[in-house]
Structure 1
């Protein structure tokens, strides 16, 4: 069945409210240490293993029921899985897959932005400004000059050579891109003038939208199902295409085949535009929202369900709004305020919310995951680069840094660079021995690996030593009365015990009065008694310790036949 039939396309005049939708909640949490995108609550991702989920850095769930997904890993590899309607996964066939399939042509490309249509078809731009398309193509929405479905991502170069694309947008069956020099190019289905060419003939390849935009610089674009929007650098908004619900904001319901400025926004500087199925939201430079178009679910946020053909102010508490969100496949609206509060209105799981409603979400993406029908993503969801270091990470980074250190320890002829104030804060021993005029401190009591591990522990709260060296660190921890460090040393020794070093570790435990470790080592020796008694360590065992060992082993029945 062709999912892009014209009978479906004209559904922009809003279908009756659905009776419900399954809840799909997205938690997009930036974990500074792992830099991981948490997509685990989207049902489609339940098909992926936990190991695969941990690698995801960008993702977009799309399709008529949210049953397709494309994602990018930390290594810039691109994978897709799901129903694969019209070949929209780009895997080279139309077979559905529950196993992620790699899209080799996109791997390493660094995806900057992505959008999708209703067919569905997919349009993306790389950080280099290249455009790739694939999927449904009955109306030439892939821009390759044909109407054959695209089973693999192919670069769109016609009329875009030497152009760097910085933003992409898709309507139901048309496509639009914005270049770095402020030009807009469109292609695809054009029954209502949505490509802005002045006619209603479909456009098989990208062509620049001129007319009123000829000498103007565009900074933002968006598509409704069958309409298009562009925001200029001076804050003006130009619109074209289908207008049956007043979604162009021109005060009428007639279609517009070429770009036309919204006169009602005169004197208002718009920064961003977002399009729903048949409604439009804009955000001004003063943090105010205006809305217009279809409103049968209350998606305009005006308190009623009456369509509006003119821009109408939307009140979101008293806070400044910094983001508006909508998706051409849904009747849901969302906004985020400067204080981090997220509001939603419109279709909410089949119900109508006619005024902005405060949610418990932290981002607008969650609104569409939970409330919209279908539960798709309204944008490519990404982990934002986070170069911020926590206090702990900063301290760890500065260990043994000669550029910032103010004292150095000389151990076995090698220097270890540290900071007096940190040593005094972290260790009672150093508070009494460190003086302000100390620049070099010689240390002869412990080996270089042991003392370096101790100083590094003060910066990191962890140790990195083989079990044999951990014995020396255990000695140091005992001398300096560092009880937590003693426990870490004992853990390290337990994890590294083997038949060859078991007696040496047992001797150390006895020497440093580490009773728990002593018992652990003793039990290990008993469990491996035959091999342990044949080791060099057993042959060189201290006489008193040997007597104690044999006596204790006898008591636990180690020598019974």
Structure 2
């Protein structure tokens, strides 16, 4: 709603599945989508509208016509030339693709992968259903009367095992698993079994919404949320832990019901985790409800709620943060949001840690944040190439260490890094001070700093170009020293954040010592709290090392105030 497609930029190196791709092939990529249990499957769309599958290929979900894994990109012949707009997937996995406008202004939906519950909308009934469809197949939408209907599809969404599409007219078509009525109590005549468990062909679902027009839809694991044209939010399906935002009960909701949001709120986007929901309003506020066992609601504790609660988060005293975008994944408890200042925040399950309040990341887009802290799958496709050219942020990333455009070389430990004086002056107070005076080396083409290692100095320079810290956690302490030496306050805070995210029972003593050395009281307290919370997981050696360093710190502090005489 608020995001600009031109500003969606990220690096493929955040996603391990692309590490083996040749640079020539990478340069031709337009869009990628990573999915699967461990992010081990991907779809790639190139600038010439060719589509490729890469990875494990569970249940034929790559669409390449078989169930064999592939280490090299293989063409998805059925989609090549179709001009793909977006993808969506469930946990089977089952995959949907939506094409852009083509002949007769139609957008078409293709489906493939696991079909055990009718989630691909390809078979007439459960009895003759194909369990796996390994070739993308056009979805035929039919009206309740059974006639073929050529619909202009605006968007698609997948739950764990159900699929939803909304049309230009605000109609909702839905199919798949209905054991929790996530299909909205579709009338019995549409089912081919008496138990109403699965729906194998898509049917119109607006009957239970009083024909309200739907403009946006999102799916959790076993529930569905929708925004109407009047910007009200409705939910149906599994309501355990109050994830539908309906207070009356926590039982399955058989027909769409309005979420208990305040009257007058204008909701522009809703996203679903596996068991929680976030809503973004036109006033740039976030409301959250549902399960909260990992802090995924961002409200400071881990108790669930069926009543939507507004996130109140201050970036400084009396200045409430404003949000412009949100994201969640239907297979995870992580939540992500972008502030008006362009900062990306995460909370919930962040690589096993429970983060109960929005925490700023060192990233400038949600894809990189999810790649670092999430379950290694994408919430939506990543666009790398838009409208025939790269934007300014992508150009800056490309310019780093580019010898063809550089006007300055920095040599560290005998290795050269190619940079640009103007960018260094704009981004770093250290370099601005260095270059603005009548510095004797102003006209020299090479400088040789000696205080820091090549790996750390290169990471610092790359940060100036990308706003991303690309460095192993064990090297972060040296980068922290550099930030202190160069008066880089933002970089310093990013380093502290990285350390917090990377602390383990085996390195907590090391980082505690660093916190004491650099007088980082916040980090010092964090290390102590981490050790207390993970005491049972620490080995005797780890625990003894931490206690020894804490005793040394105590002795030093007491000695400084003159109370320790012996």
Q: TM-score, normalised by structure 1?
A: 0.62
Given that residues 260 and 307 in structure 2 are in contact (C-alpha distance below 8 angstroms), is that contact kept between their aligned partners in structure 1? no
Per the alignment, do residues 189 and 147 of structure 1 end up closer, same or farther by CA in structure 2, a change over 3 Å counting? Answer: farther
Given that residues 29 and 46 in structure 2 are in contact (C-alpha distance below 8 angstroms), is that contact kept between their aligned partners in structure 1? yes
Pairing 1:345–2:331 present: no
Once the two structures are superposed, the pairs formed by residues 223-242 of structure 1 within 5 Å of their partners are 223-242=219-238
1:218 maps to which residue?
Answer: 214
Per the alignment, do residues 121 and 46 of structure 1 end up closer, same or farther by CA in structure 2, a change over 3 Å counting? Answer: same
Per the alignment, do residues 68 and 390 of structure 1 end up closer, same or farther by CA in structure 2, a change over 3 Å counting? Answer: closer
Deviates more, 1:321-330 or 1:360-369: 360-369
Pairing 1:152–2:152 present: no
1:485 maps to which residue?
Answer: none
The answer for unaligned runs of 5 or more in structure 2 is: 102-106, 124-128, 143-147, 189-195, 315-319, 393-566
Equivalent of residue 108 in structure 2, options 126, 130, 135: 130
Equivalent of residue 47 in structure 1, options 20, 26, 48: 20
CA-to-partner distance for each residue in 1:382-415, whole Å, 9 max, x for gaps? 1363578999xxxxxxxxxxxxxxxxxxxxxxxx
2:65 maps to which residue?
Answer: 92
1:376 maps to which residue?
Answer: 377
**Which secondary structure does the structure 2 equivalent of 1:264 belong to?**
coil
Pairing 1:358–2:360 present: yes
Cα displacement (A) at 1:265: 3.6
Pairing 1:61–2:17 present: no
Cα displacement (A) at 1:147: 3.9
2:80 maps to which residue?
Answer: 107
Per the alignment, do residues 31 and 49 of structure 1 end up closer, same or farther by CA in structure 2, a change over 3 Å counting? Answer: farther
Q: Highest CA radius of gyration, 1 or 2?
A: 1
Taking the aligned partners of 2:294 and 2:234, their CA distance within structure 1 comes to 25
Pairing 1:255–2:256 present: no
Taking the aligned partners of 1:95 and 1:312, their CA distance within structure 2 comes to 46
2:291 maps to which residue?
Answer: 294
Taking the aligned partners of 2:135 and 2:226, their CA distance within structure 1 comes to 29
1:23 maps to which residue?
Answer: none
**Which secondary structure does the structure 2 equivalent of 1:40 belong to?**
helix
2:177 maps to which residue?
Answer: 189
Taking the aligned partners of 1:75 and 1:165, their CA distance within structure 2 comes to 23
Per the alignment, do residues 262 and 52 of structure 1 end up closer, same or farther by CA in structure 2, a change over 3 Å counting? Answer: same
1:143 maps to which residue?
Answer: 121
Given that residues 81 and 101 in structure 1 are in contact (C-alpha distance below 8 angstroms), is that contact kept between their aligned partners in structure 2? yes
**Which secondary structure does the structure 2 equivalent of 1:367 belong to?**
helix
**Which secondary structure does the structure 2 equivalent of 1:47 belong to?**
coil
Deviates more, 1:41-50 or 1:60-69: 41-50
Once the two structures are superposed, the pairs formed by residues 18-33 of structure 1 within 5 Å of their partners are none
Per the alignment, do residues 167 and 49 of structure 1 end up closer, same or farther by CA in structure 2, a change over 3 Å counting? Answer: same
The answer for unaligned runs of 5 or more in structure 1 is: 1-28, 392-561
Cα displacement (A) at 1:360: 1.1
Taking the aligned partners of 2:130 and 2:178, their CA distance within structure 1 comes to 14
Once the two structures are superposed, the pairs formed by residues 316-355 of structure 1 within 5 Å of their partners are 316-317=313-314, 318-355=320-357
Once the two structures are superposed, the pairs formed by residues 394-543 of structure 1 within 5 Å of their partners are none
**Which secondary structure does the structure 1 equivalent of 2:181 belong to?**
coil
Taking the aligned partners of 2:33 and 2:262, their CA distance within structure 1 comes to 33
Cα displacement (A) at 1:36: 8.4
Equivalent of residue 163 in structure 2, options 160, 164, 175: 175
CA-to-partner distance for each residue in 1:65-110, whole Å, 9 max, x for gaps? 1000001001110001101001100111111110110011111111
Q: TM-score, normalised by structure 2?
A: 0.61
CA-to-partner distance for each residue in 1:328-362, whole Å, 9 max, x for gaps? 01100010112211111001110000000111110
Taking the aligned partners of 2:391 and 2:22, their CA distance within structure 1 comes to 30
Per the alignment, do residues 75 and 324 of structure 1 end up closer, same or farther by CA in structure 2, a change over 3 Å counting? Answer: same
Count how many residue pairs are aligned between Structure 1 and Structure 2: 360
Taking the aligned partners of 2:5 and 2:178, their CA distance within structure 1 comes to 40
CA RMSD of aligned residues (A): 2.2
2:266 maps to which residue?
Answer: 269
Cα displacement (A) at 1:367: 1.9
